[in-house]
Structure 1
Amino acid sequence: MKKVFLIFLIIVGISVLLSASFSWLPFKKQEEKAKATKDIDLIELDIGAISTEIISEDRDTVEADLVGKGKLDVHTDGDTITVRFERKWFDFFSLFKRNKLTVYIPEDYDRDMKIDIGSGNINYDARKLDQLAVDIGSGNINIKNLTVKDFKLDVSSGNVNIESLKANSSRIDISSGNVKLNNYSGKLKADLSSGKFNAHIDQLIGAIDVDVSSGKVELDLPDKADFTLKGKIGSGKISTDFPLTTTKQENKYIQGVHGTGKHEVNLKVSSGKIDVY
């Protein structure tokens, strides 16, 4: 039994040495692609832990280029194209990781997309989509210039930066992480368990609902926004810099109107803080 264990340790040691010794060598490039026909309604990216860039360009295929180690797969199943990256177990022993994945999307693709991230990093200069759903474990994602009907973001523990997002509606769930949303317009619903959510609203054209269990929310509204603020407070705090009319304030409740009061801004704080300015 001791000999078997010793052999195992030797094999692991050799794997570590080989991985470290040859990390300076250029990695073989892998390429996979699938035809994006009119029947494709969903592009799904399952990328785990790798630095990824998503590029929209004039093409009729979804193509993934991998520089580094791991298994890359692009395939079509019915109306879905899936791009999947998997790291082999011995790749985790590498001391120098230079893996990079580039995914090319047809610029005229305007249907649904789903992105699952483990602990990787994504940069996406987006376009127009019907729906974008993003699920983040403990990674980082930067999205900009996105126009979408339905946007969904689920953050377990990570960092999200979104620059310029126009949506009919957005749903953002944050377990523990940091989300910055700049230049946003559309209906918004956000739940924050623990972390920070900073939202700059470029145009208030729909209702906003924010529920905070424990964390901090900064809600930056346009100076001339027309809204009715309704806030429920547990052991947290809601504050606003806006002059409100028709106000009603009690120990655990605040209500007021700014401008015409057209859009509802519903806030709920169990233990945390929401600043509206």
Structure 2
Amino acid sequence: MIAPRRFLPSISSLLALEAVERLGTATAAASELALTHSAVSRQLKFLEEQIGVTLFQRQGRSLTLTPAGAEYARAIRDNLQGIAQASLKVKAGGSRSSLSLAILPAFGLHWLTPRLRDFSARHPDVVVNLGTRLAPFDFSHDRFDAAIHFGMRDWPGCGYLPLAHERVIPACAPAMPRVRQVAGLLDLPLLHLESRPGAWERWFDRQGCRADNLGGMIFDQFLHMAEAAALGLGVALLPEFLAESEFRAGRLVTAWPDYTPTEGTYYLVWPAGRPVGRPLQLLLDWLGPGARV
């Protein structure tokens, strides 16, 4: 049920409030919104009257937000953005159904996106929208239908569909010195992923070589780390789907010849407490026939 009208101010007045809080002055807000200074002031006055709370302190033509006004502006900013995104989504999709997926950048680019061509060919009435998220989030606030998750089945309140197990391999630029023994890699600069602490230590342990407290450059994405490795900044421990792409392009070569399995799995996850719409069910059936909540 939608809230009573008295709690739903006009979009124009909310845009004026948000712009004044963000830009600092009514003059700057008027310029951005293509309105006059007096028009912005009227919108803000209507908003105050409807809400029944003083949102601004006025001194001549100067406006200063009260603490309540500043808090209100920050609270409605995300909602205005959500309205804009929803409008863009329906405009881009037209009469077709849409499916919003949160993806991990490297996996989404090199594993999922190439496969989506077949899905789109089978279901031309469904538009798939992709957004990047590097860590689990709250499905109730980020309105994605599903997300790519790496690790264990540790995202609460979600349904899970396994997509791929992960294998990793050390990769470096062709000009990087070659090593004959695995311990030789310890003499080279090692590149680390922020979300995989201890990945190198575990890799060395699986090769029967002890390595503790390894240092080196840290990156927030595999794609950035692979680029650094290609530039000769060090050795990157890359997942197979990304490493193979780099090997084919000739930008990277193997620093050690064998792939090593990791403990994590790539999953498609979706909120278990929310009805599964037709577009998501089509994707689940396509990725893994019969997968349901």
TM-score range, shorter chain: under 0.3
The TM-score, its normalising length taken from structure 1, stands at 0.20
The structure with more strand, counted as a fraction of residues: 1
Rg bigger for which structure? 2
The structure with more helix, counted as a fraction of residues: 2
The TM-score, its normalising length taken from structure 2, stands at 0.20
Report which structure shows greater RCO (CA 8 Å, sep ≥6). 2
